[in-house]
Amino acid sequence: MKQLLIVANWKSNKTLQEASIFIEKFQVVYEPREDAKVIICPPFISVELMSRLVRNDAIAAEIGVQNISPFEDGAYTGEVSAHQAAEFAKFAIIGHSERRTNFGEDDDLLSKKVSIATSFGLIPIFCVQNENTFIPDGVKVVAYEPPSAIGTGQADTPESAEHVALIIKEKHGEVAQVLYGGSVVPENVSGFTKMEHISGVLIGGASLDPDRFSSIIKQC
């Protein structure tokens, strides 16, 4: 049985209060599945709260972060280190196209982030924009997210995503799981997850609503 990863990327959304309300509603509608691991990646400010709520309410979900400092603990104003994040999170999204575009993150910086994340036991979910995007050593989970599909409602086709996933796996023997991301909604998720080489989805907009997110989990 294929083990799916269903990853919510909340980006810069939700206050602490809104995050609590999400969890209250989500736990009513969420039906955990043996073949799917649910990972919620809130903004840093909500990571501690979300990890506590998930644990206290015994919700079958893991916590991830959306980014990580390339440095260890120390004099790096404004950064959150992998050491700090690993207190609460198991996963770290690294190399999202929004970080590459808005914050100038390049291959060299992203390699440092992967290396420091793995050294503190965080599993990188490394985002690539196409089959030729550089993937640093140590990456086992990749999320293929074509920028034209992010937040546009114009998802890639499952066939095209499957083709890219297969090429990525052929080129990088270490990569065990390739996820698809970009305008995933309840109505299209199963098209992706039924593909042989796609092991889950990374969801932005549709993960913010507890009903839509739980419906994605049900449909995948």
Q: If binding is defined by CB under 6 A, does position 124 make contact with ligand PGA?
A: no
Which residues contact residue 163 at a Cβ distance below 8 angstroms, ignoring those fewer than 6 apart? none
Which position among 42, 182, 191, 210 is part of the footprint of ligand PGA (CB under 6 A)? Answer: 182
Q: Which of 136, 200, 204, 210 binds ligand PGA (CB under 6 A)?
A: 204
CA-wise closest residue to 53 among 39, 63, 68, 66: 63
- For the CB of residue 208, give the shortest distance to ligand PGA in the complex, in Å: 9
| Nearest Cα residue to 112 out of 79, 63, 145 | 79
- Is residue 130 within the footprint of ligand PGA (CB under 6 A)? no
2-31 binders of ligand PGA (CB under 6 A): 9
Select from 21, 52, 137, 151 the one that contacts ligand PGA (CB under 6 A).
Answer: 151
Our finding on whether 105 is near ligand PGA (CB under 6 A) is no
Cβ nearer to ligand PGA, comparing 81 with 207: 207
Q: Is 183 in the site for ligand PGA (CB under 6 A)?
A: yes
* Cβ distance to ligand PGA smaller for residue 3 or 148: 148
Please choose, out of 21-29, 35-43, 46-54, 145-153, the segment that lies near ligand PGA by the rule CB under 6 A. 145-153
Selection from 11, 94, 23 nearest residue 52 by Cα = 23
How far is Cα of residue 127 from the mean position of the Cα atoms in its chain? 8
Nearest residue (CB) to ligand PGA, 135 versus 155: 155
CA–CA separation, 69 and 83 (whole Å): 10
Minimum separation from the CB atom of position 83 to ligand PGA (A): 25
- Tell me the residue nearest to ligand PGA as measured from the CB: 204
Residues lying near ligand PGA in the complex (CB under 6 A) are found at 9, 145, 150-151, 181-184, 202-206
